A and B are shown apart, each in its own frame.
Chain A
Amino acid sequence: MRLGEPPGSPRPPPLVRFADKALRAFPEGRRWHGWEQVVGGRVALVEATLERTPLFARHVSLGARMVPFAGFEMPVQYEGVIPEHRAVRADCGVFDVSHMGELHVDGPTTAAFLQEMLSNDVDRIGDGEAQYTLLTNEQGGIVDDLIAYRLAFGQYYLVVNASNREAVYRWLKESEARGSEVRDASDDYGLLAVQGPRSLERLGLPDAAAFTHEMGELDGVEVMICRTGYTGEKGVELCCAAEDAPDLWDAILARGAVPCGLGARDTLRLEVCYPLHGNDISPETDAISAGLGWACALDTDFTGVETLRRIREEGPARKLVPFVMEERAVPRQGMPIEGGGEVTSGTHSPMLDRGIGMGYVPAGSAAPNTELVIDVRGKPRRARVAKKPIYRKGE
């Protein structure tokens, strides 16, 4: 059992059809380039056992549309992607991200071990600090992107993507150095992201520097308060004991946060050009081409660093760029970009009211304002390379 069943529901997770109502509404015969499909990477109806977060019953009672994501039944939306997105940009939204993986790495040699495994300079964070970093392979490819938190000397806590939890755990466990112990604690924790310009005010929390964390309490629930998030807005991620997650969720909703699903999480992160592992970055894409050189301390020794140094020296052949559609069309993952490129993420931006996306293009086409032509199901549609972020507050 993962992360506990909702109270009063001792039965095992159900065997469900790998499709929600929305997918079943349009069965065979129609082309279906769905968000669920893109992220889940699956089209066909397959049997799968899905896991549930401790908040499953809360989502269902709020009328959420549940979809399979990274092996979990997750809420894709409650009221709707667009109103949820706007709530986070204007005020405050809360996301259940308990499906994400949490690992503890403990022991006297942990800092040196993580310095070898992760791309960023782990020595640059002290107790109470965190950093965005990458787990890289020998080719400089990205096994996962994650946030590393230093709890104390020799004690680190890693939050990894749900779909990569097993891969990251195995990768680190196999490389585990003497004096460092890797432990998967994903089942023990609930994780809620509270994001938006009014999030701290609504939670009654003081402002603090981004990428810091501290232990605290919110309405009687003990929480680790992390000044991190993936929406481009001010906010926190709150980690609690799995059994406390429903109380924490209720307290946050009572403080006026709008419940938000994975749909809004995807549109929010794409507007600010945060990459999604499995879409924009993968073990086959290197960190330099993906524009994540800033998260790689090339003066340290970590897996794949020599490849990455060489790519930076020679310049990448292709680059991950953000773009905005010039014509009415919504780009989607997998659409070809003329001249040899491909869309890796695409959606409709609720703030710009236009199609936006990210994709790999030849380095010569990567400069901002370069015109791109995207093949939208056989129709050429014009787009333009944008500067990061695509959406900036006050524009």
Chain B
Amino acid sequence: MAAAESYPDDLRYHPEHDWARIAGDEATLGITWFAQDALGELVHYEAPAVGAAVTKDGSYGEVESVKAVSDIVAPLSGEVLEVNEKAVDEPETVNEDPYGEGWLIRIRMSDPAEIDALMDADAYRAHVADQ
């Protein structure tokens, strides 16, 4: 069951259709509703290893649908603390709940100042409307 289109106000967004939920010096990352809708039903999530470093604007993994595969772009830099194993085992979770059960990784940020470069929900909605 695919989720309805939404871009929650409490998240920050990267123009490559990735979101970040900030909590102290940690952030949970995932792909937006727009990204999962463009890809279609996900069948594979190639996750990074716990402890790996991710770099803002760089790829940290891949999500794959029947039709296509896409890099997952990190909106922030840091170290991977946890991978969502539910998304690995049941990638369709990302389609069903992209901002909740379908999160992808949790990181400890190495440069919290990077947050300022991300979009808020209103700016991202405008960005999506342009696509």
Contacts and interface: CB of A to CB of B under 8 A. Distances in A.
Interface of A: 21-22, 24-26, 29-37, 76-77, 80-82, 263, 267, 328-330, 332, 347-348, 350, 353, 355, 377
Interface string B3-33: 0000000000000110000000000000000
Contacts of A76: 67
A330 B71 contact: no
Nearest to B17: A25
Contact of A82 (B16, B41, B46, B73): B41
A80 B66 CA distance: 10
Contacts of B43: 330, 348, 353
A12 to B, nearest CB: 26
A32 B70 contact: yes
B66 A328 contact: no
B69 A80 contact: no
Contact of A22 (B16, B38, B62): B38
A25 B44 contact: no
Contacts of B62: 377
Contacts of B73: 30
B35 interface: yes
Contacts of A35: 66-68
Given A21-B38, A22-B39, A350 B67 contact: no
Given A25-B17, A81-B40, A32 B34 contact: no
B23 to A, nearest CB: 28
Contacts of B44: 328-330, 348, 355
Contacts of A328: 44
Given A25-B131, A328-B44, A348-B44, A82 B39 contact: no
The 9 A-B residue pairs whose C-beta atoms are closest, nearest first, are A25-B38, A35-B67, A34-B68, A348-B43, A81-B66, A22-B38, A82-B41, A30-B71, A348-B66
Interface of B: 2, 16-17, 34-35, 38-41, 43-44, 46, 59, 62, 64-71, 73, 131
A353 B71 CA distance: 22
A29 B70 CA distance: 11
B68 A350 contact: no
Nearest to B44: A330
Contacts of B38: 21-22, 25-26
A77 B59 CA distance: 28
Contacts of B67: 22, 34-36, 76-77, 81, 263
A35 B34 CA distance: 19
A80 B38 CA distance: 11
A267 B43 CA distance: 13
B66 A350 contact: yes
Contacts, number: 77
A74 to B, nearest CB: 13
Given A33-B68, A35-B68, A81 B131 contact: no
- Most chain A CB neighbours (cut-off 10 Å) among B2, B38, B44, B69: B69
26 contacts: A21-B131, A22-B40, A24-B131, A25-B34, A26-B38, A29-B16, A30-B59, A30-B73, A31-B70, A31-B71, A32-B68, A32-B70, A34-B68, A36-B67, A76-B67, A80-B2, A81-B41, A82-B66, A263-B40, A329-B46, A330-B69, A347-B66, A348-B43, A348-B64, A348-B65, A377-B69
A32 B2 CA distance: 23
- Most chain A CB neighbours (cut-off 10 Å) among B35, B59, B71: B71
A33 B66 contact: no
B17 to A, nearest CB: 7
A22 B35 CA distance: 9
Nearest to A31: B71
A263 B39 contact: no
Nearest to B35: A25
A77 B37 CA distance: 12
Contacts of B66: 35, 81-82, 263, 267, 347-348, 350
A353 B43 CA distance: 8
A353 B91 CA distance: 12
A276 to B, nearest CB: 15
A197 to B, nearest CB: 22
A30 to B, nearest CB: 5
A377 B64 CA distance: 13
